[in-house]
Structure 1
Amino acid sequence: MFREISRETSGKMFRETSREILREISRETSGKIPREISGENFRKNL
């Protein structure tokens, strides 16, 4: 029974944790990344 529950919730848990990690990374790097890289200029350079 525990395995069935963990299998269903592991995907949701992983998505939530990865979202939190991405949020933390963006919060840490937002102050360091120059303005030119962010926004529309970044999309143009891609």
Structure 2
Amino acid sequence: MEISRQNALLFIRNQVEKDAWLEEHFPKQMEVYHNAIRQTREQLLAQQVNM
């Protein structure tokens, strides 16, 4: 995948929303990432309830 110089500079300078940018360019990887975060959150909440 090719990323334009302008988009790369915006990303580096924090002038673009990183999650939105990553969702656009890497949708499958971000889906896996979000699923992992959700599962971790659920596990932590379950541990707190069982304490």
In the superposition, the TM-score normalised over structure 2's length comes to 0.49
Query: What's 1:16 paired with?
Result: 36
Calculate percent identity across the aligned residue pairs.
3
Please tell me the root mean square deviation across aligned C-alpha atoms, in Å.
1.4
Query: What's 1:28 paired with?
Result: 48
Structure 1 ranges of 4+ moved more than 2 A: none
Give the C-alpha shift of residue 9 in structure 1. Answer: 0.5
Give the C-alpha shift of residue 25 in structure 1. Answer: 0.1
Query: Aligned partner of 1:8: which letter?
Result: K
Stretches of structure 2 that go unaligned for 5 or more consecutive residues are 4-24
Stretches of structure 1 that go unaligned for 5 or more consecutive residues are 32-46
- Rg larger in structure: 1
